[in-house]
Structure 1
Amino acid sequence: MARFVLTRRSPLPPSVCWERLTAWPRHGERVPFTRVTVARGTGRDVGDLVLARTSLGPLRVDDPMEIVELTAPAPGRDGLCRLAKRGRPVRGGAVLRVRAADGGSEARWAEELRITGLPRPADPLIAAAGRLVFGRVLDRLLEP
């Protein structure tokens, strides 16, 4: 399983950082050929489904992610969103955290990915691509 962790500091308060990090459709703005939508619910509750659909010509890969844990940040409490990947080609999950830090926020994105059909020796390449792509997403979401 490919694993990576991203951490970013932001001058934004935790509540704003959280709102941006859980604005699911904005995630697709920096992922090539990908559109992110809320496929079930509002995207703000446990059990809701977020769908990342990557399309290139006739090829399409869906990455449905169920929100299995969700706690917004509050004074003295970190924000936490745990996503479980429920698709066939992409398995694993992600954990997004937001905490108050130095007058702003710290956002942490940890992900584990297994892509069906790719051998385990490809995991370091998948992790490197994940750090690059999702790092861009995180940077864009947290721009002041």
Structure 2
Amino acid sequence: MANILLERTVPLPLDEAWRRITQWRRHGEVVPLTRVSVVPPAPTGPGTVVVARSGVGPLSFEDPMEVTLWQPPEDGAPGMCRLEKRGRVVLGWAELEVRPGPGGRTRVVWREEIRIRLLPSLFDGVLRPSARYVFGRALNRLLRRP
């Protein structure tokens, strides 16, 4: 299992940072070789399933994630979303959080525990930096583009 922690401080209001990181289909635009679908399409809440399909042709897999916690930021209070990975290949969870940061900015935190079924923990040393790179790049892109 690989634990990942990504933190960014951005010059965005809480609700705008939240909107950018929880527009699920946009995740497919910023993660290479990935398409994202959502059931039901809107609005997001507990029970919503976000499915990321990654790969090419027969070398692809689905990463279904169920929203188990959905607390958008309200009146300056932090916002938090937790997704539980329910797939055959990728297991674990992800948490996305926005909270007030220094100087009126917003602090965005992405925590993830990722396990690949049948992949021995010996490979965590490769999985962790690879996932940090991919998710870090995705987070940067999500926060940059409205």
Same fold (TM over 0.5): yes
Tell me how far apart the structure 2 counterparts of residues 42 and 67 of structure 1 sit (CA, whole Å): 12
CA–CA distance in 1 between the matches of 2:58 and 2:87? 19
The answer to whether the 8 Å contact 2:30/2:142 transfers is no
1:33 & 1:39 partners in 2: Cα distance? 20
Preserved CA contact (<8 Å) 2:25 2:36: yes
Unaligned runs of 5+ in 1: none
Pair 1:79 & 2:79 matched:
yes
Partner deviation per Cα, 1:2-22 (whole Å, 9 max, x = no partner): 111000011010000000010
Following superposition of structure 1 onto structure 2, how do residues 1-144 of structure 1 map, counting pairs within 5 Å?
1-42=1-42, 44-101=44-101, 102-143=103-144
Aligned letter for 2:134? V
**C-alpha contact 2:14 2:76 (8 A) present in aligned 1:** no
Aligned-residue RMSD, C-alpha? 1.3
- Give me the TM-score of the superposition, normalised by structure 1: 0.94
Gaps spanning 5+ residues in structure 2: where?
none
| Letter matched to residue 99 of structure 1 | R
Which deviations, in whole Å up to 9, do the C-alpha atoms of 1:39-95 show, x marking residues without a partner?
335251100000000121322200000000010012242100000001111100001
Whether the 8 Å CA contact 1:30–1:133 is kept in 2: the answer is no
Give 3-state SS (helix, strand or coil) of 2:18's partner: helix
Q: Aligned partners of 2:28 and 2:81: how far apart in 1?
A: 18
Q: Give the number of equivalent residue pairs.
A: 144
Q: How far apart in 2 are the matches of 1:82 and 1:89?
A: 19
Question: Within 2, Cα distance between the matches of 1:138 and 1:131?
Answer: 10
> What SS is found at the alignment partner of 2:122?
helix
Tell me if structure 2 keeps the 8 A contact 1:52–1:62: yes
Is this contact kept in 2: 1:43–1:50, CA < 8 A? no
- What is the one-letter code of the residue matched to 1:113? I
Q: Deviations along 1:83-130, whole A, 9 cap, x unmatched? A: 000111110000110011121211000000110121101112111111
